[in-house]
Structure 1
Amino acid sequence: MAFGAFGSSAPTAEVAVPSRRSPVAILLLLPGLAYLTLFFLVPLVSLIITSLETPDLRGDFGEYIYAFRWQNYADVIVQYWPIIVRSFVYALIATVCALLIGYPIAYFIGVKLRNYKLIQALALTLVIAPFFISFLLRTLAWKQILSDEGPVVSFLQNLSILPPDAQITGTSFSVIFGLTYNFIPFMTLPIYTSLERLDLRYVEAGGDLYASPRSTFWRVTLPLSLPGVISGTLLTFIPAAGDYVNASRDFLGGTETAMIGNVVEANFLALGNYPVAASLSIILMAAILLVVGLYVRFAGTKDLV
């Protein structure tokens, strides 16, 4: 037996042998894999195949055949690029507005009301309460409120803020307002989750080091709540970019406020132009994945709530 310099034997390190995956664990994964395959992978492949189809000149109108036609994507981008840009601009502005509104709400509930559990629960319920009402009904209600005969327009016209022939619905403002309103809870809840777990001793330490409240917020509170901010912006931006309810002429939008979702709906349901609708859907998905990937990369964290 060999002894070390101090007369003790060196311990032998045990090599960890990776164990094989349990058959039970694999069986537990099968339902989830089957669900993803059936309801995500299969529809995605079908959508890609549809986007590459071309009209069947030998058949009836509205019939298409698979032709591996990549030109569909170029045609869609050339024809609808203003609407594509508008959709992302609307979604970006709505996300910023939701952040500016949602962060103070989340901070108030998660930090200021932390010692008042009953009031905190009530405030949190008020944030979640809109989910108990249909998305369509909430948007339709705002259409009535912002209509030409509604109280908002009448009040602003009486104050001479709006001219007599002005309107709010059918404008970019009304669409962005609807997007912001409907997705504020998606922004507020993840930020609240981060702020509710915030250790207030860090904030107190900032004050003990003679930092101003503003400096403490920018250097302590905001960085520690950044995972919630990233999650909230993603949960707001992604559905807002593909939304078609708020921008619809039947709700808050008009002919000049159409978004990608409205074009997809029109080509799929009204015009029966399935390759165009599928191509737009693929472009929207790819663009969102690119934007989200760049955002998460440059935000400096992947710790999403």
Structure 2
Amino acid sequence: MYKKRLAIPYVIWSGIFVIVPVLIILYYSFFEKGVFTLNGYKQVFNPRYVNNIMDSVVIALISTVICLLLAYPLAMILSSKQISGKGVILLLVILPMWMNSLLRTYAWGYLLQDTGVVNNILEGIGLPTIQFLYKKSAIVFGNVYNFFPFMVLPIYNVLCKIDQSVIEASYDLGADKITTFKKVILPLSMPGVVTGVVMVFMPALTTFLVSRLLGGGKTTLLGDLIEQQFKITGDWAFGSALSVILMVIILITLVFMSKKDSLEKGGGLF
């Protein structure tokens, strides 16, 4: 009974700041001026907006894959007991998170602009300048830079908790390093991978800050589209419908990743 009473403030907080906003979004997605309508959802299937949604999903997936490919080897290196100075490397990974994401993105926009520091360096050493900004690749770069720590830390945390005796047992049974990684380390690290993928994919899918500052507004993503409906066009029904679609995509991602994690755990080590 005492524990249930302690949970009451959290239940109230969740109800006010999670459940109530979701219910309001659902209401506005189905009702316009008090009249039931599906116009908001019909607009979602407009080819123009479908392309925006697909661009958002593709860019978020690419950003997530790049983060995973970069973060997993780094987490493996950091989790090794032989490496020294891992605290410094971890600090360098975490340090950007201490700054506001808006300032970080603005800084990269200044560094990568046509007359920015990077192009000035290229020009100074006799190399041709490159247009880094206002492309989809710039948005991917911004996503990877901003969300990379959210991939590294969960994987690193799980790898550090793997019992070394299990790995040693794999070697004793004749497995080489590649087989040990595929059959032991990778399956045991899947909870961290799943957490990292979810923590990168979701903000990469919903961001509108990176696409605006580094993409120059040339690529309209799902987050930009939702913001426009509420702040500019005033079409709350369409904006709410897009928000519901976004929640559905995120829920599908969570279900898929949780099932994948369950299959990995249930499959055993060998």
Calculate the TM-score normalised by the size of structure 1. 0.80
Counterpart selection for 1:146 from 90, 109, 112: 112
* Kept after mapping to 2: 8 A contact 1:186/1:232: yes
Question: Which amino acid in the other structure matches residue 134 of structure 1?
Answer: N
- Map of 1:11 onto structure 2: none
Counterpart selection for 1:190 from 149, 154, 163: 154
Aligned equivalents of 2:34 and 2:264: distance in 1? 40
Q: Please say which of residues 197-206 and 167-176 is displaced more in the overlay.
A: 197-206
Aligned equivalents of 1:112 and 1:157: distance in 2? 43
Deviation (angstroms), 1:187: 0.4
Aligned equivalents of 1:281 and 1:113: distance in 2? 47
* Kept after mapping to 2: 8 A contact 1:227/1:301: no
Aligned equivalents of 1:69 and 1:50: distance in 2? 10
Deviation (angstroms), 1:232: 0.6
Structure number with greater CO (CA < 8 Å, separation at least 6) is: 2
Tell me how many residue pairs correspond in the alignment.
Answer: 264
Instruction: State whether structure 2 residue 252 is matched by structure 1 residue 286.
Output: no
Instruction: State whether structure 2 residue 25 is matched by structure 1 residue 44.
Output: no
Deviation (angstroms), 1:226: 0.9
Stretches of structure 2 that go unaligned for 5 or more consecutive residues are 266-270
- Map of 1:123 onto structure 2: 89
* Correspondence list, 1:147-226, <5 A: 147-154=113-120, 167-226=131-190
* Kept after mapping to 1: 8 A contact 2:39/2:237: no
Which structure has the greater CA radius of gyration? 1
Question: Which amino acid in the other structure matches residue 69 of structure 1?
Answer: T
Over the matched positions of the two proteins, sequence identity in percent amounts to 34
* Kept after mapping to 2: 8 A contact 1:113/1:120: no
* Correspondence list, 1:75-86, <5 A: 75-78=43-46, 79-86=48-55
Deviation (angstroms), 1:301: 4.8
* Correspondence list, 1:87-102, <5 A: 87-102=56-71
Deviations 1:22-81 (A, max 9, x none): 2x2332221111111111111111111112233xxxxxxxxxx12121231121232411
Counterpart selection for 2:232 from 267, 270, 290: 270
Runs of 4+ in structure 1 off by over 6 angstroms are: 157-161
Provide closer, same or farther for how the CA distance between residues 221 and 302 of structure 1 changes in structure 2, counting only shifts above 3 A: closer
Deviation (angstroms), 1:160: 8.7
Q: Normalized per residue, which structure has more helix?
A: 2
Question: Which amino acid in the other structure matches residue 51 of structure 2?
Answer: P
